[in-house]
Structures are given as structure tokens and as C-alpha cells.
């Protein structure tokens, strides 16, 4: 039977119905870092310290380009995630035995 059912109310809210964020809104805003309420000056200082992108490294490694035989590279990759660290460890072990 194809009886017509009552319409269900939509729970979707049009984002264009959101109130405009005015200067007054930001003037009254309470600044937080995590769960801690901070002054606007503390918040500004923290915002200046926060850098975008990848965190700075320890500068103990260098980026380079090295060419390996396919079978060697595939063997390390086949061992799963962290293969580059394992390759680094293997080279370090070789250096322990062969360094003058």
C-alpha cells in the first residue's frame, strides 16, 4: 500500500543562518589555551610562538639522495613500516665493524 506518510522535520541548519562575527564578539571573547583561561596578551604571545607546519627536527639527520639496488630496497620495504629506520640501523652496524 502506498499511503502518504507525514513529512519529517529536517535537522539540517543552513550555515548562512549563523550570526555574523563582529568586533564586539571578539572583544568579549574569553581566551583559552587548552583548558586554561588566559589573558589576551598571553594568548597573543602563545599564538606568535605557535609555528605552522612540521615541528623542527633535532638536526641530527640530513636529507640526501641515494640509489640502492631494487632487490635491497624492496627487501627493506617488505619488512613493513619503519623500513628507513631499519636501513639506517643496518648501515650504522656496518660502520661499527668497518670504520677504522
Mean pLDDT, all residues of the chain: 86
Contact status, residue 57 vs residue 51, Cβ threshold 8 Å: no
Q: Residue 32: CB partners within 8 Å, gap ≥ 6? A: 38
pLDDT of residue 8: 74
pLDDT at 56 over 80: no
Separation of alpha carbons 40 and 46, rounded Å: 10
Nearest to 21 by CA among 30, 29, 32: 29
C-alpha cell at 63: 636529507
- Is pTM beyond 0.85 here? no
Cell of 81: 613500516
The pLDDT of residue 1 is 57
Amino acid at each position: 500500500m502506498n499511503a502518504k506518510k507525514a513529512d519529517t522535520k529536517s535537522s539540517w541548519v543552513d550555515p548562512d543562518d549563523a550570526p555574523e562575527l563582529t568586533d564586539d564578539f571578539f572583544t568579549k571573547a574569553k581566551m583559552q589555551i587548552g583548558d586554561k583561561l588566559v589573558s589576551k596578551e598571553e594568548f597573543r604571545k602563545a599564538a606568535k610562538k605557535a609555528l605552522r607546519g612540521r615541528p623542527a627536527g633535532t638536526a641530527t639527520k640530513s636529507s640526501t639522495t641515494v640509489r640502492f639496488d631494487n632487490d635491497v630496497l624492496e627487501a627493506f620495504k617488505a619488512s613493513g613500516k619503519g623500513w628507513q629506520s631499519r636501513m639506517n640501523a643496518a648501515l650504522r652496524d656496518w660502520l661499527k665493524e668497518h670504520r677504522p
